[in-house]
Amino acid sequence: MPEPSLAVRRKSRPGSVRKRSRAPVVQPSAVCSPVARKRLNSRGEGPPAETPCSNDSEEDMFGDFDSFSGNDSLLAQVDDIEHKYLQDKSMDIKAAGDVILGNLQSGVHQKKQDNCSTSNDKLVLKADKEDAFQLNENNPVDSNQEPTESVLDDLPSSQLLYFEKMDELSSGSRISPVSERRNKCVNSSSDKIRSPSPFCPDAECRNRPTDFSSDSNKCDLFKTESLKDHLKSAMTGNAKAQTLQVSKTKQLKEAVLSEEICVARKTIESSSVDIGPFYGLPSKVKDLFRQFRGIETLYEWQHDCLMLECLQQRKNLIFSLPTSGGKTLVAEIIILQELLCRQKDVLMILPYVAIVQEKVRGLSSFGIELGFLVEEYAGSKGRFPPIKRRIKKSLYIATIEKGHALVNSLIETERIDDLGLVVVDELHMLGEGSRGATLEITLAKILYTSKNTQIIGMSATLSNVGDLQKFLQAEYYTNNFRPVELKEYVKIRDTIYAVDSKTENGFTFSRLLNFKYSTNLEKADPDHIIALVTEVIPKYSCLIFCPTKKNCENVASMVCKYLKKEFRAHREKEKQDLIKNLKNIGNGSVCPVLMQTIPFGIAYHHSGLTNDERRSIEEAYSAGVLCLLACTATLAAGVNLPARRVILRAPYVANDFLKKNQYKQMIGRAGRAGIDSAGESILIVQEKDKHLVQDLVNSPLENCYSNLLLELTKGMQSLLLSLVGLKIAVTCEEVDNFMRSTLLGVQQQLLSKEKSLSEIIKDGLENLIEKGLVKGRISEKDHNSECILTITPLGKATYKGSIDLAYCNLLYRELKKGLEGLILESNLHLLYLATPYDMTSNCSPDWMIYLRQNVDSAVVNRLYLSFVLYTLLKETNIWSVSEKFNMSRGYVQNLLNSAASFTSCVLHFCEELEEFWVYKALLTELTKQLTYCVKTELIPLMEVAGVLEARAKQLYNAGYKTLAHLANANPETLVKMIEHLSLRQAKQIVSSARMLLSEKAEALQEEVEELLKVPTDIPGTY
C-alpha cells in the first residue's frame, strides 16, 4: 500500500507503546531544533502516524496531536521556542550536529533492541511524494544520552518541510560534517534525497567556539514567515484535505498479509523447521486455494514432498506421480514461495499453448490478490527481454520455444540471476523430437549460467531417472499415489480381461459384455463401443481415444445413431444453448457432425476444430452437458478433462503402435478426484495385436534420450550458434565443457558410438562457419585451440529470432529480394514473407498451370497459403475461408497460429539486421493482425487470457469495449449479460483483465521511473 505523503511511518511497533500520555513541557532553552527533536523520537515511544485512508469521521484527524482549533497552548509554546531559537546566535552548529546525531543513533539502537522485525524497519520522513529522507535502522551507534521529551514530539509530521527549509537556509552553501556523516545512513534511492543539517543548542554546544562566516541576512530569512502562521496555514490545509474512504478492515487485512509475507520470507531464508502458517506462506494463500480451487487440505504425499530437506536447501528436484496425483499444486506452492518469500521471478514451462493459456487464467486471480504479475509467453505473445520490475515480481508462463527465447534474452542482458525458479511440467518431453532438444538446451543454459536458479521437473511418465538426475543435478521423489483408484482392462471380442502383471500372460478374466446386438448393429459396431459407453453415460462421463481425426467423427456419429431417444432429454436446454453458441462462433455455420451428435451429449475433439469451438466443447464437457468425447491422443497431453471411463479404440496413434508413455497418459484421464470412487480404462484389442498389447501393458516406460543429435538444425547446431552468440562459450574448449553438462553429455556413450562428442562439436561449428553464421577457424589437428569464435549479424538475427537454421539463409535472401520491390498496396507480399516454411509440405493446391511451368512446388505452396491468410485477414471468418479453399477449418486455424508465431520470429530476425529496418514497423502490425484475426475494436478484449473471438463479440456488444471495462466489471453482472458464461468463467476473465491492466500499468510506471532516474555517470560529478 503506497505511503501517504507527509507522514511518519514506524513499522512493527509493539502494541503496548502505541499510545502514550502527554510529556511535560520542557524549557525552550533545552530543546533542540524542531527537525532534530522530531527525529530524536525514534525509540518507539512516539504516536503512530495516522493513515489518511480512514473512514472514521469522528476520529481526530491529527491522532494524538493537539488540535490547533481546540488548544492554543501548543502554538504559543512553539512561537516562544521560535523566538528563542532565532535569538540564540551563539550556538555551535557543528557541535550541535554531532550531539543530535548521537542522540538519533541512540534512539535507533534502542528501538532495534525492542523491535522483533528490525531488518525491515525504517523511519521515513516524507515531505512530499518525491522527496523523502530515510534512515536505515540496521546501523546503530552506541550512545548513553537519552533524548529529552518535548512538546514538539507531538507536532504533525506535515510540518517537517518547513523545518527542513529553515535548516537548509541556515546552512547556506556550506555542507556540515554532520550532514556528511548522516548521509551514510540514508538509503540509496532513485528519488531525490533531502539531507538537512539539524541544530542542537545544548549546554555542551555553547561551550565551544562558534564560527559564522555567512551573511547576517540569514536571520531575516528565518523571519519571512511566522512559524505560528505557517502551522496554522498548514494545519488548516490538512483539515480541508479530502481523505480516501478505505475500510479499516481492509487496511488491517493488508497489514496482516504484509507481516505474514515478511515472516515467511525470513523463515524461508533461515531454512527453519518452523514453516509458518502455510508452508512458509501467509495464511491467505491457503484461503485462496480454498476459494479458487476448492482445496481444503493437501494429500499426505504433497505435505511430505513440500517438507523435503532438498527443497528447504533449494536443491533441484524431480518428482514423478501418476496423472491426476496432484503434482501441479505442489509446483504452485513452490512457485508462490519463490515469488512472495524470496522475491525472485519464476519461469513455468508447459508443453502446449492451450495449457499455457489455461494456467494464465488460473493463476491471474492469485497474482491480483498476492501482488505479483502473470505474463503469458506463447504463440506471438511475450516481450524479449522482459521488463525489469522494481517492485512486483513476475511469473512467466511459457511454451517450450518461448521459454527458450526468454532464457536467451535474460542471459544476454545479464539478468539470469533474477530468475529464482524454473518449473518444467511434462519433463519426459526431453525425449520427444525437436521440442525435446529445445527444452534440453534451455535447461542446460540455466544450469551453466546461473548457480542460484532452482529447477523443479515433474512428470507422470519417467523411466531412466538416473540420467535426468545427473543432467539436472537433482534429487528425486516418487510416489504411486492416485486420489482415485485406476482399474485397467483389455477387451478382446466380447470378453473383458483385467490387467494383472502377476499372471503369466498379464491378463485375468473379468466379465462378458451384457448387451444384445442385432445383426445390423453388430456390423456397424463390431468393437462393441455402444455397449461400453452406455454402461456409464449419461450419468457419468466417458472418453474414447481414436487413432485418427476422421475416426473420431465416425465413432461419434455411429454411437448417437444407435442410442435411445431418452438420451436427448438429458440437459436438453444446455445442449441447445451449446449448438447456438457454436453457430455464433461459425457466423451461422455448424459442423453437421456436431449438429447430429450434440443433442445426444456426444462430440468429437481434435485439431480440426477452431480454438473457439474447442473451448466451447471442453467447457460443456467439464460442466456435464456433454458426457462423451471421441478424441485423439493430443487431448491426453492437453487440458485436464478426466472421465469415469476411458476407452482406447485401438492400440495405435495414426499408423504407429502405441507407446507405453502414450498409453499411460491416456488411461491417466480415468477417474475424477472428488467425484468418482474409481476410474476404468478399457483397451480394445484385435486378436492379431494380442501379443503386442501384452508386451505393452507389462513393459516399463520408455527411456528418455537426448535429441540434440537427431534434430540437427534445431538441436546441436542451434545450441552451438546460441552459445557463441550469447558468449557462454566462445572457444572449442569452452564449448566442450558446456556440452558435458547437457543430457547428451551424460548419455554420449549410448548415443554417439560412431563419433566422439568432440568430433560432433567440431563438425557442427564448421557447418555454422560454412553457412556464414559464425566466424572463426577450427584447427585441423587440435580443435581445442584457443581460437575465439564470434557470431555474424546473420547468426545473431537467426538465434534471436528463433529461426530454424534450415531456413535462415532462404529467409534472408527472400527478405533482401523483397526490399527491391516491396508491394504495399495490400499486405499480400508481407504475408508471403511471413508464411511458415514448415507448413508448405502439408499443402496440395490444384494449380496445374504452375506445375506445368516447372515452378518450385514449395514456392507455389507458400504462395497458395499466402492467399489463404490474405483472405482470412479480409474476411476474419475461418469457416468461409476453409470452404472457399477446400481445407479443414482446423488446418486453417493451425495455419493462422503458425503464421502469427513465425511473423513474430521474422520480426525479431529483422530487428538484428539494420538493412531490414523497413520491415520492423510493417511486421509489428502484421503480427498483431495474425495473432487475433478480428476487427480492430475487438483486439483489446482478445488480449485477455480466455477471451476468444466469439466471447469478445459478446462482450463488445454488451458494452464492455476496453480492457478497463473488463477489469472493473462485476462477474455476477457479466453472467447476467453474457450468454453461456458461467460465474467461474466470468471471475477468471475479470481476474485476467485486472492482471493484464496491472502489467501494462507497471510497465508504464517502470518506463517513467527509468526516464526520471538520475544517471550515476554525469560528467563532473563525484
Tell me which residue has cell 548521509. 183
- Distances 543 to 495, 632, 647, 733, 930 between C-alpha atoms, Å: 20, 10, 6, 53, 33
Per the structure block, which three cell numbers stand in for 155? Answer: 507536532
Quick: pLDDT tens for 720-772: 999 999 999 999 899 999 999 999 999 988 887 778 888 889 999 999 999 99
pLDDT interval class at 213 (50, 70, 90) = very low
- Model confidence at 372, pLDDT cuts 50, 70, 90, reads very high
SS3 for 370?
Answer: helix
pLDDT, position 520: 87
Dihedral sign (CA 446, 447, 453, 455): positive
Reading the block at residue 342, the C-alpha cell is 524470496
Check if the beta carbon of residue 967 is closer than 8 Å to that of residue 992. Answer: no
Per-residue pLDDT tens for 85-114? 555 544 444 444 444 444 434 444 444 444
What is the structure's pLDDT at 693?
92
Mean predicted confidence (pLDDT) in 514-538: 90
Q: Answer yes or no: is pLDDT of 435 > 90.
A: yes
pLDDT at 450 over 80: yes
Helix, strand, coil distribution of the chain in percent, nearest 5: 50, 10, 40
Q: 847-867, pLDDT tens digit by residue?
A: 654 455 566 778 888 888 999
- Alpha-carbon distance of 1004 to 795, in angstroms, equals 32
Looking from the CA of 257 toward its CB, the CA atoms found within 13 Å total 16
Predicted confidence at residue 148, as pLDDT, reads: 38
Q: What is the mean pLDDT of residues 72-76?
A: 55
Tell me the C-alpha distance between 578 and 226, whole Å: 76
pLDDT tens per residue, range 973-994: 999 999 888 888 899 999 999 9
* Strands of 628-631's sheet in order across: 507-512, 495-499, 485-492, 678-685, 645-648, 542-545, 628-631, 602-605
- Yes or no: say if 974 and 986 are a contact pair by the CB < 8 Å rule: yes
% of the chain surpassing 70 pLDDT? 72
- Read off the pLDDT of residues 34-45 as tens digits, 9 standing for 90 and up: 333 433 444 344
Which position has the higher pLDDT, 159 or 861?
861
Provide the Cα torsion 334, 337, 338, 343; round to 10°.
Answer: 170
Confidence of residue 214 (pLDDT cuts 50, 70, 90): very low
Angle at which helix 857-875 crosses helix 917-932, to 10 degrees, equals 60
Return mean pLDDT, the chain: 78
Distance CA 302, CA 309 (A): 14
- Give me the mean pLDDT over the 780-798 stretch: 79
What is the model's pLDDT at position 1006?
Answer: 83
Segment 596-617 mean pLDDT: 92
Between helices 757-770 and 732-739, what is the axis angle to 10°?
130
State the Cα–Cα distance between residues 646 and 682, nearest whole angstrom. Answer: 6
Please give the pLDDT value at position 228: 60
Q: Which of 144-158, 404-418, 812-826, 850-864 has the highest mean pLDDT?
A: 404-418
The residue that leads in pLDDT, 541 or 130, is: 541
Residue 791, SS3 per DSSP: strand
pLDDT of residue 514: 85
* Eight-state DSSP code of residue 31: -
Q: What is the mean pLDDT of residues 1013-1019?
A: 84
State what percent of residues in the chain have pLDDT above 90.
46
pLDDT in tens, 792-837: 999 999 999 999 999 999 999 999 999 988 888 888 999 999 999 9
The letter for the amino acid at 450 is S
Quote the pLDDT of residue 235. 62
- Span 484-499, average pLDDT: 93
Inter-residue contact 900 to 379 (CB < 8 Å):
yes
Task: Judge whether residue 650 has pLDDT over 70.
Answer: yes
pLDDT of residue 441: 96
Radius of gyration of the chain from Cα atoms? 35
Q: What is the DSSP string of 648-711?
A: ESSSEETTEEPPHHHHHHHHTTB--TTT-SEEEEEEEE-GGGHHHHHHHHHSPPPP----TTTS
Sign of the Cα torsion 649, 653, 655, 657 reads: negative
C-alpha cell at 731: 572457444
Q: What is the DSSP string of 826-885?
A: SSHHHHHHHS-GGGGGG-----HHHHHTT--HHHHHHHHHHHHHHHHHHH--HHHHHHHT
Contact 592, 560 (CB under 8 A): no
Q: What is the pLDDT of residue 822?
A: 87
pLDDT value of residue 68 = 43
> Is the predicted pLDDT of residue 244 greater than 70, yes or no?
no
Q: 544: buried, middle or exposed (CB in 10 Å: 19+, 13-18, 0-12)?
A: buried
Interior CA angle at 631 toward 626 and 632, to 5°? 165
Sequence-ordered strand ranges (E) for 52-184 = 122-126, 132-136
